[in-house]
Amino acid sequence: MSNYQKILVAVDLSDETNLVLNKALALSSGTDAEIHLLHVLEPVAVGYAVEVTSVDIEGLHAEATEYAREAMKALGATLSLPVERQHITLGQPAREIRELAKTLETDLVIMGGHGKHGFELLFGSTSSGVTHGITCDLLIVHLPN
């Protein structure tokens, strides 16, 4: 049994989200730990090669926001989490995760990680981004490659 009081779980809403959530549930089971969920919406990026006028950026963003809201609502209901513990922010995931952990004064952040892919080694994974500057414990759940 752990003695963590406030746990922030970062969810990308992919198929692997349940693996991360299950770890959080196992760790907090039988404790009074307060669980918070965070999903970060990333600004829709359009490459210069795309003819910008043909892309409805606001529409894409609205669709992504709606999808995230519904998915977080469903996760929140499954975990019986009040809305104020379901956070959706806009920005760069690693930075947003670190910032919310600081604001909420969480003592643990739980997130997923894929290990060492060539791509991640070159460009940096979300988990390695969170590691730099995190102000509390960090648990990275190993996800299958």
Query: Which residues contact ligand AMP by CB under 6 A?
Result: 10-12, 16, 20, 38-40, 93, 111-114, 125-127
Minimum distance, C-beta of residue 54 to ligand AMP, in the bound complex (Å): 26
Minimum distance, C-beta of residue 22 to ligand AMP, in the bound complex (Å): 12
Q: Compare residues 86 and 126 and give the one whose CB is closer to ligand AMP.
A: 126
Which of 46, 41, 34, 35 has its CA nearest to residue 12? 41
Q: Compare residues 9 and 33 and give the one whose CB is closer to ligand AMP.
A: 9
Minimum distance, C-beta of residue 144 to ligand AMP, in the bound complex (Å): 11
Q: Compare residues 33 and 94 and give the one whose CB is closer to ligand AMP.
A: 94
Q: Compare residues 35 and 38 and give the one whose CB is closer to ligand AMP.
A: 38
Minimum distance, C-beta of residue 36 to ligand AMP, in the bound complex (Å): 12
